[in-house]
Structure 1
Amino acid sequence: MNQESVGKRRFILHVDMNSFYASVESVVDPSLKGKALAIAGNPQERRGIIVTCSYEARKRGVKTTMPLWQAKRLCPELIIRRPDFPKYRTFSKRMFQLLREYTEMVEPVSIDEGYMDVTHLASNPIEIAQDLQRRLYEEIGLPCSIGIAPNKFLAKMASDMKKPMGITILRKREVHHILWPKHVAEMHGIGQATAEKLKQYDIYTIGDLAQQDRYTMKQRMGVNGVKMWERANGIDDSPVNPQRADEFQSIGNSTTLAEDLDDEASLFHIFSSLATSVEKRMFEKSVVGQHVQIVIRYRDRKTVTRSKALDNTFHEKQIILQEAWALFLKHWTREPVRLLGITASALLSKEHAFRQMDLFTYEKDEKTEKVNQLVQNLQEKFGQSSIRKGAEAAPLEPHDE
């Protein structure tokens, strides 16, 4: 928290772009404005899924993660566009540049949303939100909703209450009659799996959670239980952190080998362990990547870095290992290796990312089968224990990047 905020009531804004990908496409192609538009991975395939859609499409029942065939059945005139992440990142950069014209206290949390601490500004927070919303739409063409609250959690909840183009104020004293009646799954930070677990304790609403005993929640669910209980009661002291913009641009691990190696099987096992570590950290941060990068350092200290942009976002060990190993074989000189590293970069939060394959529980498609075949081939070459779904390889002493 900045020093000016200490001892004062905070004013936090959560700026959330409305149907960001679809909105960007409508800016680039004005003929799409007012149309039922969906961004979908692999629109030629029956198993393609909806990544996001315009509000016109939502009125027809189209929803995020819905199979494309079902969306087309509900809305035959639905216009489909494939995702264009470089384009979206360009617009995201312009959006955050505009936010920083008001304050440097801006914390991006995904490609299309971020927090602002405007406590230290002389202007009224509502006037700031109104001006910001107007400028984002007039200067960039993007609609947004903004939540205003004394902390990040309440600001996030507020921004979800009125879409599109809403501005909502949520005060701590209003939590009990605005938030408590809502289902616990509607609370930011609680997914469906956690909501199901809370049912075991007869916790169905945010109010049920808020009225639990703090110590009991810690016993049941650890530190996360305490955090959920605090948020349900409107408590969140976490600061707006401008440095977070750079924290998760990449996640990588490298290891210096105990001895220089040129044995292919041994090097593969090391890559497998590194891929396990990267997958684990991506899971913990709830992100997916778009690029895989490797580092090879030889005994003469010559260092080679190579990367590849993937067609689909990823977080699984199998994909990370597959792409990293292919890069390694392509660029390895067969000289003994001293250090190896794998990095996943161009990260996106899971909730704003997509897969051109089946996103959650849909049946495995052709690409997944190819990955499985590759895993099988690698196991046959290097042994059954070389790579296993959901299993960790032998630990290394990694250097986090």
Structure 2
Amino acid sequence: MRSKRNNIIHVDIDAFYASVEELDNPALIGKPMCVGGLSERSIITTANYEARKYGIHSAMPVFMAKQLCSDLIIVPMRRARYVEKSKEVFNIIQKYSDIVEKVSIDEAYIDITGKKAEPVDIIYSLKKDIKDSTGLTISAGLSYNKFLAKLASDWNKPNGMMIITKSDIPDILMPLDINKVHGLGKKSQEKLRDIGINTIEELLSLSEEFLFEMFGKMGIEVYHRIRGIDKRKVEPDRVRKSMGVERTFLDTNDTNTLTEYIKNFSKELSEDLKAKNLGFNTITLKLKKSNFKTTTHSKTFTYTIKDFEEIYDISMKIFNEEYTGEKLRLVGISASNLVDLNFEQLSFYNLKKS
């Protein structure tokens, strides 16, 4: 009799943006290359695996990456192309299960519980289909819950596959750094390191009550998660409350540089919205100063916003109204009060008919 245990796969497209660039320009293969801004003040978005050998990673300033590797090739972002390739990959994934939760442009959970084929066979077939059809490779993790599946997908990158079973818990987790625990952000990790907790084995020594006092409800989730318990379901129709783009960069008060960030983020957000056929009514500009103080500034409209020009124009108006010339280390733009344009268009059609 087939086991009724959950079978959840987490897939992650390997070095996605960089891999697309290598696919379109094979001359880049084998050379240290990053996707990012071309100016010294820009940041790295994605580094290929050759560049990672030098210690280069996403969110690193370009000038610092070039110090680590003088031969580094920087390729500008082509967001529309990445969206196109992402759709190709997800069209294949949808053939393997109706229960797919898209987490980001290059990452998803797939629930294959109850499928007749063996889970490992499904993974190998999926990896082959994606490689043959798109030229891209994925790393996949298989387990009985989302936390462990995601952890497994990161185990043997690139083009890897890993299985974590109940019998592996907790031993397989013990040597891992606490940064591997979903739910523990940087500030939470710092609080734990301050009291000498650096590994999951050390984290296991803390009581549920202690973690609740330290982190509230998330502390309880972390307590259970590192013991192999994660009751979150794969949710294909997860409702998003907002969508946004933000980046940390080298502290600057150069208005031309900051304006360029806002322009790029407006473009990226408009393309993300277009991919999901969404609009919105509320836009928020987030500014983080060099002293880490963060401010947010929102505007809500009675009409639906969706186009790049509108997003950029409104964001710049807010920026010009609120920015006082201090150095910033992060800018973000987010859209909330999302509007399903499919529903809006259908409602308009029905109104015209009546």
Normalising by structure 1, what TM-score? 0.63
Shift of 1:169: 0.7
Residue 90 of structure 1: SS of its match in structure 2? helix
* Paired letter, 1:63: H
Shift of the 373–83 alpha-carbon distance from structure 1 to 2, 3 Å rule, reads: same
Q: Give the secondary structure class of the aligned counterpart of 1:109.
A: strand
1:10 has 2:3 as partner? no
Q: Identity of counterpart residues, as a percentage? A: 34
Does residue 170 of structure 1 match 2:132? Answer: no
Candidates 204, 224, 240, aligned match of 1:247: 240
Query: Displacement of 1:106 after TM fit?
Result: 0.7
Could you tell me which residue of structure 1 aligns to residue 193 of structure 2? 199
- 2:105 corresponds to which letter in structure 1? I
Partner of 1:38: 34
Cα deviation, 1:168-188, whole Å, max 9, x if unaligned, reads 011122132221122212323
Q: Which amino acid aligns with 1:229?
A: Y
Partner of 2:23, secondary structure, is helix
Aligned length: 287
| Distance of aligned partners of 1:196 and 1:342 in 2 relative to their CA distance in 1, 3 Å threshold | farther
Q: Structure 1 residues 133 and 222 mapped into 2: Cα distance closer, same or farther (>3 Å)?
A: same
Cα deviation, 1:285-340, whole Å, max 9, x if unaligned, reads xxx87447xxxxxxxxxxxx999x9xxx9655999858x69xxxxxxxxxxxxx63
In the alignment, does 2:322 pair up with 1:375? Answer: yes
8 Å Cα contact 1:207-1:232 kept in structure 2: no
Matches within 5 A, 1:321-332: none
Give matches, 1:12-91, under 5 Å: 12-41=8-37, 43=38, 45-91=39-85
- In the alignment, which residue of structure 1 is the partner of 2:302? 340
Aligned residue identity for 2:207: D
Partner of 2:330: none
The one-letter code sitting in structure 2 at the alignment partner of 1:24 is: V
Q: Deviations over 1:124-182 (max 9, x none)?
A: 11111111112211210111110011111000001111110100011122132221122
Gap change, CA 1:342 and 1:104, over 3 Å in 2: same
Distance change >3 Å, CA 345–CA 193, structure 1 → 2? farther
Structure 2 CA distance for partners of 1:51 and 1:175, relative to 1, 3 Å: same
Where does structure 1 lack aligned partners over 5 or more consecutive residues?
252-287, 293-304, 326-338, 347-368, 378-397
TM-superposed deviation, 1:89: 1.1
8 A contact 2:109–2:146 mirrored in 1: yes
User: 2:92 is matched by which residue type in structure 1?
Assistant: L
- Structure 1 contact 133–143 (Cα < 8 Å) conserved: yes
Give the Cα–Cα distance (whole angstroms) in 1 for the partners of residues 221 and 134 of structure 2: 36
CA contact (8 A) 2:4 2:114 kept: no
Is contact 1:319-1:371 (8 Å) kept?
no
Q: 1-side partners of 2:305 and 2:204: how far apart?
A: 40
Where does residue 119 of structure 1 map in the other structure? 113
Question: What amino acid is the match of 2:137?
Answer: P
Q: Is contact 2:285-2:297 (8 Å) kept? A: no
Q: How far does residue 196 in structure 1 lie from its aligned partner after superposition?
A: 1.1
Structure 2 partner of 1:385: none
Deviates more, 1:148-157 or 1:86-95: 86-95
Q: Relative to structure 1, is the Cα distance of residues 30 and 316 closer, same or farther in structure 2, using a 3 angstrom cutoff? A: same
The 3-state SS of whatever aligns with 2:169 is: helix
Post-superposition CA distance 1:212-238 (Å, at most 9, x none)? 222332233211000111111111111
Counterpart residue number, 1:184: 178
**What TM-score does the superposition give when structure 2 sets the normalisation length?**
0.71
2-structure distance, mates of 1:371, 1:26: 38
| Rounded Cα–Cα distance in structure 1 between residues aligned with 2:156 and 2:318 | 42
Q: 4+ residue runs of structure 1 moved beyond 4 angstroms?
A: 248-251, 313-322, 341-346, 369-373, 398-401
Contact 2:141/2:154, CA 8 A, preserved across alignment: yes
- Show the 5 A alignment for 1:209-358: 209-244=203-238, 247=240, 250=243, 290-291=268-269, 315-316=286-287, 340=302
Report deviation, 1:199.
3.2
Contact 1:148–1:168 under 8 Å retained in 2: yes
The answer to whether the Cα contact below 8 Å between 2:99 and 2:234 also exists between their aligned partners in 1 is yes
State the Cα distance separating 1:376 from its structure 2 match: 5.3
Q: Tell me which residue corresponds to 1:99.
A: 93
The structure whose Rg is larger is 1
Q: Which amino acid aligns with 2:86?
A: S
Over 3 Å counting, the alpha-carbon distance change for 1:12 and 1:32 in structure 2 is: same
Mapped partners of 2:155, 2:302: distance in 1: 47
Point out the more displaced range, 28-37 or 95-104.
28-37
Cα separation, 1, equivalents of 2:132 and 2:103? 23
Between the aligned partners of 1:56 and 1:222, the Cα distance in structure 2 is 41
Instruction: Identify which of 126, 134, 138 aligns with 1:140.
Output: 134
How far apart, CA to CA, are the structure 2 residues paired with 1:344 and 1:218?
41
> For the residues of structure 1 that align with 2:295 and 2:25, how far apart are their CA atoms?
34
Counterparts in 2 of 1:211 and 1:38: CA distance versus 1, 3 Å: same
Change (3 A) 1:17 1:399: closer
- 1:128 aligned residue: 122
Please report how far the alpha carbon of residue 47 of structure 1 lies from its aligned counterpart in structure 2 after TM superposition. 1.3
SS at match of 1:237: coil
C-alpha RMSD of the superposition: 3.6
